[in-house]
Structures are given as C-alpha cells and as structure tokens.
C-alpha cells in the first residue's frame, strides 16, 4: 500500500475504532426508563367523588453496568406522581422527598447476591406484595392496603406534615438504608435491610437502629415468606405469607402482626386471604381481611381487569369496610393502568 493511501485510510481506521469503543461502552451499560400511570373515576370510602389514582403511579430511570467477572453496578431513581394534577409525590398531608419511590446505587455479584444503598422499600414492603391479589397497591379493593402495617412505620419522623410542619411517619420505605438480597438457594432467598443512622432529634424520634430480615421461598407452585422488621423507635412488624398456584389460579393468605412502642405497647394482628384467577385477557381478584383493633375492622374487596395488551389494562375495583359500632363504608371505581 502506498504511503499516501495509508494516510488517507487513517481517518477511516480511527472512525472504526471510535465506533467499536462506543459499541463496547453501549453494551457494557444499559439504561431503562419505565413507570406506571394509573387514573380512575371513583367514589372513596369517605363518600367523596374523585378523578385520580386508585393505585400508585411512578416514573423511574434505572441503569446497570457490567463490571466483568460476574459483577455489575446499578442504580435506580423513581419519582411518585399524581397524574390527575401532575404533582410529584403522593397526595395527602405528608410532604415526601422528590425521589419518593427509590433512590439507590448498588453492586451485584452472581454468586454473592446484591447490595444497594440509599432509599428503598424495606424487606417487608419489597416482598410481601406477592401475598395480596391486588399486590398491596389498590387503595379501594386491597385488604392488605388497609390492614397491614397497622401500627408500623419504617420511620416515625422521616417525613414532614404539610399542615403542621411537624415530623410524620414513612410507611414502607427506609432512608439512609442498606439493602441486601442473597442469591437463590434451591428456592430460598435471604433479604436484609437496615439503617444505622439515628433519626433526627425531634419529637417522636427513636434512638435505636432500624433492622429487618426476611426469608422467601419460591419453587414450583409454592411461595412462602417470613419476615420481621424493627424501626428506630422500637416498633415492630412480623409478617407470614403463603401462596399456592394452580395454572392461572392463585390462593394466598397472610398474617401481619405489628407493635407500637409507646407509653404502653399496642399490638394488633391482621389476617388476610385472597384469590386471583386469570381467564384469557381477564383477571379476577378478591380479598378479605380482619384486624383485632377496637372496632374489629373487617375489609372485603373485589376487582376485575381486562388487558388490552401486555402493558395496558382497564379495571373495576370495589371495597367495603365494616366495624363493631360504626356504620360500614364502601368504595367503588373504574380506571386505566398503563405500564412502560
């Protein structure tokens, strides 16, 4: 090859090399923009008519980088929102962080499991949804939504009340946390979550560490979970769940016991049972539950979904609560749910 030909070929070689480098970088990194948008028309348990989310909505950005030798680095940022108004975070009185859903960075090893740091669901919230036919996510029909975690918040003071400016509790999610999930051992997995930073020194804050652990078993038609968590104030939650699957039929039940560590310890136990059945593009769900509070609160919910495609479904949900001395309350709604 002539010298001049070589020099003319150099830019092409450099371009090819840069393209190869970019391709390698792209293959080593993967990014995903995902989320769920849920909106419905419903009459709530307090008798009000609403247009808004029946289940929660969020948008999330996550990523993963292959570090080689079975190691990966990852992150996730998830924002909760109300699609009816465009407001970030959950509606209601409590002011919550922008990345309310999750904000974590972590490492994963094929043989050792995964560990991540930041804000995320603790071991109970991240796993117990599997034992409710509504995935602990339907504010109308889910008995789990209304009865689980009765006395328990992951932190009593990590949020702020919009009305009073005073500390408010956080349900399910843990700030400044460490989260570990083990590899699968013949169907068994160990999950641990905790936080060793003390709560801010405000009214109601605790001085202990947050620590939770759970063991799950998923193999064949059987799914089981046993977990326990304790917050910085000494409140505790213990959860036992089971599910049996026969084709598209799922039968499930759970016991959730919570204790509030106040002047006296207040302990309540919720028992729930549920069923889910898929038939073509349809899915039918039902749940019942009861908790041993002063009113012996009972909950019953039913729902049905029609899947337009794998990412979009329209649904109807109905729920009823009954009490020992109070009048029963009911709710009903129809909605659309789109995931991407």
pLDDT of res. 201 = 64
Residue 5 lies in a domain: no
69-84 pLDDT per residue, tens: 999 999 999 999 999 8
Query: Are 23 and 319 a contacting pair, CB within 8 Å?
Result: no
Q: In the predicted model, is pLDDT for residue 198 greater than 70?
A: no
Least confident of 46-60, 90-104, 261-275: 90-104
The pair phi, psi for residue 140, each rounded to 5°, is -100, -50
List, for residues 91-143, the tens digit of each pLDDT value. Answer: 677 888 899 999 999 999 999 999 999 999 999 999 999 999 999 999 999 99
In a domain, 113, yes or no: yes
Residue 145: which domain range?
32-339
Per-residue pLDDT tens over the stretch 285-317: 999 999 999 999 999 999 999 999 999 999 999
Cα separation, 292 vs 308, whole angstroms? 40
**Pick from 123, 114, 40, 121: nearest CA to 82:** 40
- 160: pLDDT confidence band, cut at 50, 70 and 90? confident
> CA nearest 332: which of 111, 110, 68, 141?
141
C-alpha–C-alpha distance, residues 217 and 89, integer Å = 33
Residue 332 covered by a domain: yes
CA distance 315 to 28: 39
Q: Is residue 293 part of a domain?
A: yes
Question: How many independent structural domains does the chain possess?
Answer: 1
- Residue 33 buriedness (CB in 10 A; 0-12 / 13-18 / 19+): exposed
- Residue of 269, 245, 248 whose CA lies nearest to 257: 269
What's the pLDDT tens digit per position in 229-258? Answer: 999 999 999 999 999 999 999 999 999 999
Mean pLDDT confidence for 30-51: 96
Contacts (Cβ under 8 Å, ≥6 apart) of 260? 151, 152, 235, 266, 267
Query: Given this model, what pLDDT does residue 15 score?
Result: 34
Answer for the pair 336, 313: CB distance below 8 angstroms, yes or no: yes
As a whole number of angstroms, the distance between CA 78 and CA 58 comes to: 7
Residue 150: inside a domain, yes or no?
Answer: yes
Helices (H) and strands (E) in the chain, counts: 2, 21
Q: What's the pLDDT band for 157 if we cut at 50, 70, 90?
A: confident
Query: Is residue 87 in a domain?
Result: yes
> For residues 111 and 289, what is the distance between their CA atoms, to the nearest angstrom?
39
How much is the pLDDT for 161? Answer: 85
Helix (H, G, I), strand (E, B), or coil: what is residue 3? helix
CATH number reported for the structural domain that contains residue 39 in this entry: 2.40.160.10
What pLDDT is recorded for position 46?
Answer: 95
pTM greater than 0.85 (yes/no) = yes
Please indicate, yes or no, if residue 48 is contained in any of the structural domains: yes
Q: In angstroms, rounded to a whole number, what is the distance separating the alpha carbons of residues 44 and 321?
A: 12
- Please give the share of the chain, as a percent, with pLDDT higher than 70: 89
Mean pLDDT, the chain, integer = 90
Q: What share of the chain is helix, strand, coil (3-state, %, to 5)?
A: 10, 55, 35
Residue 27: pLDDT over 70: no
The number of C-alpha atoms within 13 Å of 133 and in the hemisphere containing its C-beta is 32
Asked if residue 23 belongs to a domain, the reply is: no
């Amino acid at each position: 090859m002539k010298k001049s030909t070589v020099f003319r070929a150099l830019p092409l070689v450099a371009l090819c090399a840069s393209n190869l480098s970019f391709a390698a970088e792209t293959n080593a990194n993967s990014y995903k923009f995902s989320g769920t948008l849920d909106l419905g028309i419903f009459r709530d348990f307090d008798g009000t008519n609403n247009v808004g989310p029946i289940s929660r909505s969020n948008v999330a950005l996550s990523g993963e980088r292959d570090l080689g030798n079975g190691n990966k680095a990852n992150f996730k940022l998830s924002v909760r929102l109300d699609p009816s108004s465009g407001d970030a975070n959950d509606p209601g009185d409590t002011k919550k962080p922008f990345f309310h859903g999750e904000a974590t960075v972590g490492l994963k090893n094929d043989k050792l499991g995964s560990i991540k740091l930041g804000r995320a669901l603790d071991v109970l919230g991240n796993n117990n949804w599997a034992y409710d036919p509504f995935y602990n996510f339907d504010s109308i029909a889910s008995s789990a939504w209304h009865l689980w975690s009765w006395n328990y918040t992951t932190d009593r003071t990590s949020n702020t009340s919009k009305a009073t400016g005073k500390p408010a509790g956080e349900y399910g999610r843990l700030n400044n946390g460490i989260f570990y999930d083990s590899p699968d051992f013949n169907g068994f997995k160990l999950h641990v979550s905790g936080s060793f930073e003390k709560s801010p020194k405000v009214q109601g804050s605790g001085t202990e560490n947050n620590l939770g652990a759970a063991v799950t078993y998923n193999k064949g038609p059987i799914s089981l979970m046993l977990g326990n968590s304790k917050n910085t104030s000494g409140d505790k939650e213990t959860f036992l769940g089971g599910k049996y699957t026969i084709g598209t039929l799922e039968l499930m039940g759970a016991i959730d016991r919570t204790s509030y560590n106040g002047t006296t310890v207040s302990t309540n136990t919720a028992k729930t049972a549920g069923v889910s059945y898929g038939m073509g593009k349809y899915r039918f769900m039902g749940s019942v539950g009861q908790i041993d509070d002063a009113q012996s609160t009972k909950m019953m919910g039913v729902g049905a979904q029609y899947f337009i495609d794998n990412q979009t479904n329209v649904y109807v949900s109905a729920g009823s609560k009954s009490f020992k001395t109070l009048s029963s309350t009911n709710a009903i709604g129809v909605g659309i749910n789109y995931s991407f």
